[in-house]
Protein backbone atom coordinates (compact mmCIF):
# COMPACT_ATOMS: atom_id res chain seq x y z
CA UNK A 1 0.00 0.00 0.00
CA UNK A 2 1.29 3.42 -0.97
CA UNK A 3 1.52 5.96 1.83
CA UNK A 4 0.81 8.87 -0.53
CA UNK A 5 -2.43 8.97 -2.49
CA UNK A 6 -1.85 9.87 -6.13
CA UNK A 7 -3.93 12.71 -7.59
CA UNK A 8 -3.82 13.76 -11.21
CA UNK A 9 -3.11 17.51 -11.15
CA UNK A 10 -5.17 17.93 -14.33
CA UNK A 11 -8.24 16.32 -12.77
CA UNK A 12 -9.86 19.50 -11.48
CA UNK A 13 -12.82 17.66 -9.95
CA UNK A 14 -10.59 15.38 -7.87
CA UNK A 15 -8.35 18.28 -6.86
CA UNK A 16 -11.34 20.37 -5.77
CA UNK A 17 -12.70 17.41 -3.81
CA UNK A 18 -9.32 17.07 -2.10
CA UNK A 19 -9.24 20.77 -1.22
CA UNK A 20 -12.81 20.76 0.09
CA UNK A 21 -12.07 17.67 2.17
CA UNK A 22 -9.33 19.51 4.01
CA UNK A 23 -11.76 22.19 5.20
CA UNK A 24 -13.54 21.38 8.42
CA UNK A 25 -16.39 23.10 10.23
CA UNK A 26 -16.80 23.15 13.96
CA UNK A 27 -18.38 20.01 15.43
CA UNK A 28 -21.85 20.97 16.76
CA UNK A 29 -21.58 18.45 19.60
CA UNK A 30 -18.24 19.88 20.72
CA UNK A 31 -19.59 23.43 20.45
CA UNK A 32 -22.50 22.48 22.69
CA UNK A 33 -20.24 20.95 25.35
CA UNK A 34 -17.82 23.88 25.17
CA UNK A 35 -20.65 26.38 25.45
CA UNK A 36 -21.69 24.80 28.74
CA UNK A 37 -18.10 24.96 30.02
CA UNK A 38 -17.82 28.62 29.10
CA UNK A 39 -21.07 29.49 30.85
CA UNK A 40 -20.10 27.69 34.05
CA UNK A 41 -16.68 29.35 34.22
CA UNK A 42 -18.32 32.70 33.57
CA UNK A 43 -20.71 32.17 36.48
CA UNK A 44 -18.55 30.26 38.98
CA UNK A 45 -15.00 31.46 38.22
CA UNK A 46 -12.15 29.69 40.02
CA UNK A 47 -14.44 27.03 41.51
CA UNK A 48 -15.33 25.81 38.03
CA UNK A 49 -11.66 25.82 36.98
CA UNK A 50 -10.65 23.64 39.93
CA UNK A 51 -13.49 21.23 39.22
CA UNK A 52 -12.73 20.96 35.49
CA UNK A 53 -9.02 20.47 36.18
CA UNK A 54 -9.88 17.54 38.43
CA UNK A 55 -12.34 16.17 35.86
CA UNK A 56 -10.31 16.58 32.66
CA UNK A 57 -6.68 16.56 33.81
CA UNK A 58 -7.16 14.03 36.63
CA UNK A 59 -5.33 16.16 39.15
CA UNK A 60 -6.48 18.18 42.13
CA UNK A 61 -4.71 21.52 42.60
CA UNK A 62 -5.07 24.12 45.34
CA UNK A 63 -3.59 27.12 43.52
CA UNK A 64 -4.02 28.21 39.93
CA UNK A 65 -1.08 30.60 39.69
CA UNK A 66 2.40 29.15 39.39
CA UNK A 67 4.40 30.36 42.37
CA UNK A 68 7.99 31.59 42.29
CA UNK A 69 9.01 28.47 44.21
CA UNK A 70 7.36 26.18 41.66
CA UNK A 71 9.02 28.09 38.81
CA UNK A 72 12.41 27.72 40.48
CA UNK A 73 11.88 23.98 40.97
CA UNK A 74 10.87 23.55 37.33
CA UNK A 75 13.81 25.56 36.01
CA UNK A 76 16.22 23.48 38.10
CA UNK A 77 15.19 20.44 36.05
CA UNK A 78 16.09 22.07 32.72
CA UNK A 79 19.46 21.47 31.13
CA UNK A 80 21.61 24.59 30.76
CA UNK A 81 22.22 23.83 27.09
CA UNK A 82 18.47 23.89 26.39
CA UNK A 83 18.13 27.24 28.14
CA UNK A 84 20.97 28.58 26.01
CA UNK A 85 19.38 27.28 22.80
CA UNK A 86 16.01 28.73 23.72
CA UNK A 87 17.66 32.08 24.43
CA UNK A 88 19.35 32.12 21.02
CA UNK A 89 16.08 31.15 19.33
CA UNK A 90 14.40 34.02 21.19
CA UNK A 91 17.05 36.43 19.93
CA UNK A 92 16.44 35.31 16.33
CA UNK A 93 12.66 35.64 16.72
CA UNK A 94 13.04 39.07 18.31
CA UNK A 95 15.34 40.41 15.58
CA UNK A 96 12.90 39.32 12.85
CA UNK A 97 9.76 40.64 14.52
CA UNK A 98 11.23 44.02 15.46
CA UNK A 99 11.28 44.84 11.74
CA UNK A 100 7.47 44.51 11.69
CA UNK A 101 6.86 47.49 13.96
CA UNK A 102 4.97 50.37 12.37
CA UNK A 103 4.45 53.99 13.31
CA UNK A 104 1.35 56.11 13.06
CA UNK A 105 1.04 59.00 10.64
CA UNK A 106 -0.53 62.43 10.27
CA UNK A 107 -1.81 64.08 7.12
CA UNK A 108 -2.06 67.88 7.07
CA UNK A 109 -4.36 69.16 4.35
CA UNK A 110 -5.72 72.62 3.70
CA UNK A 111 -5.56 75.20 6.45
CA UNK A 112 -7.49 74.00 9.45
CA UNK A 113 -7.60 70.26 8.66
CA UNK A 114 -5.42 67.45 9.91
CA UNK A 115 -6.04 63.76 10.37
CA UNK A 116 -4.01 60.73 11.30
CA UNK A 117 -3.67 57.27 12.70
CA UNK A 118 -2.32 56.09 16.06
CA UNK A 119 -0.92 52.61 16.63
CA UNK A 120 -1.25 51.39 20.21
CA UNK A 121 -0.47 48.04 21.84
CA UNK A 122 -3.19 45.95 23.43
CA UNK A 123 -3.26 46.22 27.19
CA UNK A 124 -3.43 42.53 28.13
CA UNK A 125 -3.00 39.34 26.06
CA UNK A 126 -3.63 35.71 27.02
CA UNK A 127 -1.38 32.98 25.61
CA UNK A 128 -2.62 29.39 25.55
CA UNK A 129 0.16 26.78 25.62
CA UNK A 130 -1.08 23.20 25.06
CA UNK A 131 -0.19 20.10 27.00
CA UNK A 132 -1.43 16.69 25.95
CA UNK A 133 0.82 14.69 23.62
CA UNK A 134 3.84 16.93 24.17
CA UNK A 135 5.09 20.18 25.70
CA UNK A 136 5.83 22.97 23.23
CA UNK A 137 8.32 25.60 24.39
CA UNK A 138 8.37 27.03 20.86
CA UNK A 139 4.68 27.95 21.28
CA UNK A 140 5.65 30.16 24.21
CA UNK A 141 8.34 32.00 22.25
CA UNK A 142 6.34 32.43 19.04
CA UNK A 143 3.26 33.83 20.79
CA UNK A 144 4.79 35.83 23.62
CA UNK A 145 7.71 37.58 21.92
CA UNK A 146 5.73 39.36 19.14
CA UNK A 147 3.31 40.61 21.81
CA UNK A 148 6.14 41.96 23.95
CA UNK A 149 7.85 43.58 20.97
CA UNK A 150 4.55 45.21 20.00
CA UNK A 151 4.41 46.80 23.45
CA UNK A 152 1.91 44.61 25.33
CA UNK A 153 2.65 45.16 29.02
CA UNK A 154 0.54 42.42 30.60
CA UNK A 155 0.89 38.89 29.23
CA UNK A 156 -1.01 36.05 30.91
CA UNK A 157 -0.08 32.45 30.10
CA UNK A 158 -2.24 29.38 30.71
CA UNK A 159 -1.16 25.77 30.34
CA UNK A 160 -2.54 22.46 31.64
CA UNK A 161 -0.89 20.91 34.71
CA UNK A 162 0.68 17.47 34.64
CA UNK A 163 -0.44 14.56 36.83
CA UNK A 164 1.48 16.04 39.76
CA UNK A 165 -0.25 19.38 39.36
CA UNK A 166 2.84 21.14 37.96
CA UNK A 167 3.73 22.74 34.67
CA UNK A 168 6.23 21.13 32.33
CA UNK A 169 9.81 22.25 33.12
CA UNK A 170 10.51 23.03 29.46
CA UNK A 171 7.45 25.32 29.37
CA UNK A 172 8.74 27.07 32.48
CA UNK A 173 12.11 27.51 30.78
CA UNK A 174 10.59 29.06 27.67
CA UNK A 175 8.42 31.34 29.80
CA UNK A 176 11.52 32.48 31.68
CA UNK A 177 13.35 33.23 28.44
CA UNK A 178 10.32 35.09 27.03
CA UNK A 179 9.85 37.12 30.21
CA UNK A 180 6.40 35.83 31.19
CA UNK A 181 5.49 36.88 34.72
CA UNK A 182 2.03 35.35 35.22
CA UNK A 183 1.43 31.65 34.51
CA UNK A 184 -1.73 29.74 35.46
CA UNK A 185 -2.22 25.97 35.60
CA UNK A 186 -5.38 25.49 33.61
CA UNK A 187 -6.06 24.12 30.16
CA UNK A 188 -8.83 23.26 27.74
CA UNK A 189 -11.94 25.26 26.99
CA UNK A 190 -12.09 26.30 30.64
CA UNK A 191 -8.78 28.15 30.26
CA UNK A 192 -10.11 30.07 27.27
CA UNK A 193 -13.22 30.94 29.29
CA UNK A 194 -11.09 32.23 32.16
CA UNK A 195 -9.12 34.49 29.84
CA UNK A 196 -12.25 35.75 28.09
CA UNK A 197 -14.38 36.47 31.16
CA UNK A 198 -11.89 36.69 34.01
CA UNK A 199 -12.14 34.86 37.32
CA UNK A 200 -11.24 35.64 40.92
CA UNK A 201 -7.61 34.73 40.11
CA UNK A 202 -7.14 35.04 36.34
CA UNK A 203 -7.59 38.50 34.81
CA UNK A 204 -9.68 39.11 31.73
CA UNK A 205 -7.62 39.73 28.57
CA UNK A 206 -8.17 41.64 25.34
CA UNK A 207 -6.94 38.90 23.00
CA UNK A 208 -6.29 35.15 23.18
CA UNK A 209 -3.58 33.50 21.08
CA UNK A 210 -2.10 30.03 20.93
CA UNK A 211 -3.00 26.60 19.52
CA UNK A 212 -5.06 23.85 21.08
CA UNK A 213 -7.30 20.86 20.46
CA UNK A 214 -10.82 20.94 19.04
CA UNK A 215 -12.24 22.05 22.40
CA UNK A 216 -9.82 24.96 22.68
CA UNK A 217 -10.48 25.98 19.06
CA UNK A 218 -14.24 25.83 19.62
CA UNK A 219 -13.94 27.90 22.79
CA UNK A 220 -11.94 30.55 20.93
CA UNK A 221 -14.59 30.56 18.21
CA UNK A 222 -17.36 31.13 20.77
CA UNK A 223 -15.67 33.91 22.76
CA UNK A 224 -14.57 35.83 19.67
CA UNK A 225 -16.23 39.23 19.76
CA UNK A 226 -15.98 39.47 23.52
CA UNK A 227 -12.22 39.18 23.04
CA UNK A 228 -10.10 39.03 19.93
CA UNK A 229 -8.38 35.79 18.88
CA UNK A 230 -5.47 35.01 16.58
CA UNK A 231 -7.11 32.41 14.33
CA UNK A 232 -8.99 29.11 14.31
CA UNK A 233 -6.13 26.82 13.37
CA UNK A 234 -6.64 23.34 12.02
CA UNK A 235 -4.21 20.39 11.97
CA UNK A 236 -0.71 21.09 10.66
CA UNK A 237 0.12 20.76 6.96
CA UNK A 238 3.11 20.86 4.64
CA UNK A 239 3.49 20.98 0.87
CA UNK A 240 6.89 20.13 -0.61
CA UNK A 241 7.77 20.92 -4.23
CA UNK A 242 10.73 18.74 -5.19
CA UNK A 243 12.70 18.70 -8.43
CA UNK A 244 14.97 15.94 -9.75
CA UNK A 245 17.91 17.08 -7.59
CA UNK A 246 16.01 17.05 -4.30
CA UNK A 247 17.23 14.46 -1.80
CA UNK A 248 14.43 11.93 -1.36
CA UNK A 249 15.54 11.28 2.21
CA UNK A 250 15.18 14.96 3.07
CA UNK A 251 11.82 15.27 1.30
CA UNK A 252 10.42 12.26 3.15
CA UNK A 253 11.79 13.53 6.46
CA UNK A 254 10.06 16.88 5.96
CA UNK A 255 6.72 15.26 5.10
CA UNK A 256 7.04 13.11 8.21
CA UNK A 257 7.87 16.14 10.35
CA UNK A 258 4.30 17.33 9.91
CA UNK A 259 2.63 13.93 9.88
CA UNK A 260 3.97 13.17 13.36
CA UNK A 261 1.99 16.08 14.82
CA UNK A 262 -1.42 14.56 14.47
CA UNK A 263 -3.30 11.80 12.60
CA UNK A 264 -5.19 14.66 10.93
CA UNK A 265 -2.03 16.41 9.68
CA UNK A 266 -1.68 16.78 5.91
CA UNK A 267 1.52 16.11 3.91
CA UNK A 268 1.60 16.86 0.17
CA UNK A 269 4.35 16.23 -2.39
CA UNK A 270 4.40 17.89 -5.82
CA UNK A 271 7.12 17.02 -8.33
CA UNK A 272 7.87 17.03 -12.02
CA UNK A 273 9.87 13.80 -11.61
CA UNK A 274 7.98 10.49 -11.31
CA UNK A 275 11.07 8.65 -10.06
CA UNK A 276 11.45 11.22 -7.27
CA UNK A 277 7.94 10.50 -6.03
CA UNK A 278 8.69 6.78 -5.95
CA UNK A 279 11.96 7.37 -4.11
CA UNK A 280 10.18 9.50 -1.50
CA UNK A 281 7.52 6.81 -1.08
CA UNK A 282 10.23 4.28 -0.26
CA UNK A 283 11.86 6.65 2.21
CA UNK A 284 8.56 7.39 3.95
CA UNK A 285 8.10 3.70 4.73
CA UNK A 286 11.69 3.27 5.87
CA UNK A 287 11.94 6.37 8.05
CA UNK A 288 8.50 6.20 9.65
CA UNK A 289 9.12 2.60 10.74
CA UNK A 290 12.04 3.73 12.89
CA UNK A 291 10.37 6.67 14.65
CA UNK A 292 8.65 6.65 18.06
CA UNK A 293 5.46 8.24 16.69
CA UNK A 294 5.22 5.64 13.91
CA UNK A 295 1.53 4.96 14.45
CA UNK A 296 0.54 8.63 14.23
CA UNK A 297 2.75 9.18 11.17
CA UNK A 298 1.32 6.23 9.28
CA UNK A 299 -2.28 7.19 10.08
CA UNK A 300 -1.65 10.73 8.92
CA UNK A 301 0.09 9.77 5.69
CA UNK A 302 -2.41 7.10 4.75
CA UNK A 303 -5.34 9.44 5.38
CA UNK A 304 -4.00 12.78 4.18
CA UNK A 305 -0.70 12.09 2.41
CA UNK A 306 -0.87 13.08 -1.26
CA UNK A 307 1.45 13.16 -4.27
CA UNK A 308 0.94 14.84 -7.64
CA UNK A 309 3.11 14.43 -10.72
CA UNK A 310 3.22 17.76 -12.57
CA UNK A 311 4.51 18.75 -15.98
CA UNK A 312 6.80 21.47 -14.60
CA UNK A 313 7.85 23.27 -11.44
CA UNK A 314 5.66 26.17 -12.57
CA UNK A 315 2.61 23.88 -12.55
CA UNK A 316 3.64 22.68 -9.08
CA UNK A 317 3.64 26.26 -7.84
CA UNK A 318 0.29 27.04 -9.45
CA UNK A 319 -1.24 24.01 -7.70
CA UNK A 320 0.38 25.10 -4.44
CA UNK A 321 -1.30 28.48 -4.84
CA UNK A 322 -4.66 26.72 -5.16
CA UNK A 323 -3.99 24.60 -2.08
CA UNK A 324 -2.59 27.56 -0.05
CA UNK A 325 -0.60 25.44 2.42
CA UNK A 326 0.51 26.37 5.90
CA UNK A 327 4.14 25.43 5.10
CA UNK A 328 5.54 25.46 1.57
CA UNK A 329 9.01 24.07 0.84
CA UNK A 330 10.64 24.85 -2.52
CA UNK A 331 13.21 22.08 -2.74
CA UNK A 332 14.30 23.10 -6.23
CA UNK A 333 17.31 24.65 -7.93
CA UNK A 334 17.45 28.44 -7.63
CA UNK A 335 14.48 28.40 -5.29
CA UNK A 336 14.63 32.15 -4.69
CA UNK A 337 13.85 32.74 -8.38
CA UNK A 338 10.43 31.11 -7.91
CA UNK A 339 9.45 33.07 -4.80
CA UNK A 340 7.55 35.78 -6.67
CA UNK A 341 5.31 33.12 -8.23
CA UNK A 342 4.11 32.01 -4.78
CA UNK A 343 0.91 33.88 -3.87
CA UNK A 344 -0.68 31.70 -1.20
CA UNK A 345 1.39 30.15 1.61
CA UNK A 346 1.70 30.72 5.33
CA UNK A 347 5.49 30.53 5.21
CA UNK A 348 7.91 29.59 2.41
CA UNK A 349 11.13 27.64 2.91
CA UNK A 350 13.70 28.06 0.16
CA UNK A 351 16.22 25.51 -1.06
CA UNK A 352 17.33 21.99 -0.32
CA UNK A 353 18.70 22.71 3.17
CA UNK A 354 15.88 24.81 4.61
CA UNK A 355 13.65 22.33 6.36
CA UNK A 356 10.46 23.57 7.96
CA UNK A 357 11.82 22.62 11.40
CA UNK A 358 14.13 25.64 11.26
CA UNK A 359 11.11 27.92 11.10
CA UNK A 360 9.34 26.00 13.85
CA UNK A 361 12.07 26.57 16.38
CA UNK A 362 15.00 28.76 15.55
CA UNK A 363 15.18 30.72 12.31
CA UNK A 364 13.17 33.72 13.51
CA UNK A 365 10.04 33.64 11.35
CA UNK A 366 6.82 32.89 13.22
CA UNK A 367 5.44 29.37 13.19
CA UNK A 368 1.85 30.39 14.00
CA UNK A 369 0.47 30.15 10.47
CA UNK A 370 -2.88 29.95 8.65
CA UNK A 371 -4.09 26.42 7.89
CA UNK A 372 -6.80 24.71 5.83
CA UNK A 373 -6.31 26.93 2.80
CA UNK A 374 -6.77 30.16 4.75
CA UNK A 375 -3.36 31.36 3.56
CA UNK A 376 -5.40 32.69 0.63
CA UNK A 377 -6.38 35.60 2.87
CA UNK A 378 -4.70 35.18 6.27
CA UNK A 379 -1.16 35.80 7.50
CA UNK A 380 1.36 34.50 9.99
CA UNK A 381 1.15 35.78 13.55
CA UNK A 382 3.07 39.04 13.84
CA UNK A 383 3.44 42.19 15.90
CA UNK A 384 0.47 43.55 13.92
CA UNK A 385 -1.77 41.09 15.80
CA UNK A 386 -1.02 42.78 19.11
CA UNK A 387 -1.76 46.40 18.25
CA UNK A 388 -4.87 48.38 17.43
CA UNK A 389 -5.22 51.38 15.15
CA UNK A 390 -7.21 54.46 16.03
CA UNK A 391 -7.85 57.40 13.73
CA UNK A 392 -8.22 61.07 14.64
CA UNK A 393 -9.52 64.08 12.73
CA UNK A 394 -9.59 67.86 13.25
CA UNK A 395 -11.61 70.49 11.34
CA UNK A 396 -11.44 74.21 12.05
CA UNK A 397 -14.52 76.43 11.68
CA UNK A 398 -13.14 77.79 8.42
CA UNK A 399 -12.68 74.28 7.04
CA UNK A 400 -16.22 73.26 8.02
CA UNK A 401 -17.66 76.37 6.40
CA UNK A 402 -15.85 75.37 3.21
CA UNK A 403 -16.96 71.70 3.20
CA UNK A 404 -20.15 71.74 5.25
CA UNK A 405 -22.68 71.88 2.40
CA UNK A 406 -20.93 68.97 0.65
CA UNK A 407 -21.19 66.88 3.81
CA UNK A 408 -24.85 67.82 4.29
CA UNK A 409 -25.65 66.91 0.67
CA UNK A 410 -24.25 63.39 1.08
CA UNK A 411 -26.05 62.95 4.42
CA UNK A 412 -29.40 63.98 2.90
CA UNK A 413 -28.88 61.47 0.07
CA UNK A 414 -28.63 58.73 2.69
CA UNK A 415 -31.75 59.97 4.46
CA UNK A 416 -29.81 60.81 7.60
CA UNK A 417 -31.03 64.32 8.28
CA UNK A 418 -29.66 64.26 11.81
CA UNK A 419 -26.15 63.90 10.41
CA UNK A 420 -26.75 66.87 8.15
CA UNK A 421 -28.15 68.88 11.06
CA UNK A 422 -24.98 68.27 13.11
CA UNK A 423 -23.15 70.25 10.42
CA UNK A 424 -25.93 72.79 9.96
CA UNK A 425 -25.96 73.94 13.58
CA UNK A 426 -22.25 74.68 13.31
CA UNK A 427 -22.21 76.63 10.07
CA UNK A 428 -25.61 78.29 10.44
CA UNK A 429 -26.71 77.23 6.97
CA UNK A 430 -30.36 78.01 6.35
> What are the residue numbers of the active site?
326-327
416: left (phi over 0), alpha (psi -120 to 50) or beta: beta
How far apart (Å, rounded) are the C-alpha atoms in residues 205 and 232?
18
Amino acid sequence: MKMLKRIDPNNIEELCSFLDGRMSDADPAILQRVSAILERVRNEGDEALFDYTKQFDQVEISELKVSEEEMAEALAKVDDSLLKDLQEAAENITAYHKLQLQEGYELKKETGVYLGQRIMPLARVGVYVPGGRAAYPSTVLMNVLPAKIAGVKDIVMVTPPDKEGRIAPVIAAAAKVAGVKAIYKVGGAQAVAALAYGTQTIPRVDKIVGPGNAYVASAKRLVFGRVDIDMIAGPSEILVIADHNADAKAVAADLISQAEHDPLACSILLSDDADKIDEVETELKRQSAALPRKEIIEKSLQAYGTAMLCSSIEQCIELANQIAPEHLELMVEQARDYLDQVRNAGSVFLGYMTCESIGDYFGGTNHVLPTNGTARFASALSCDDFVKRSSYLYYSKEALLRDGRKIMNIAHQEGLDGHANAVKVRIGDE
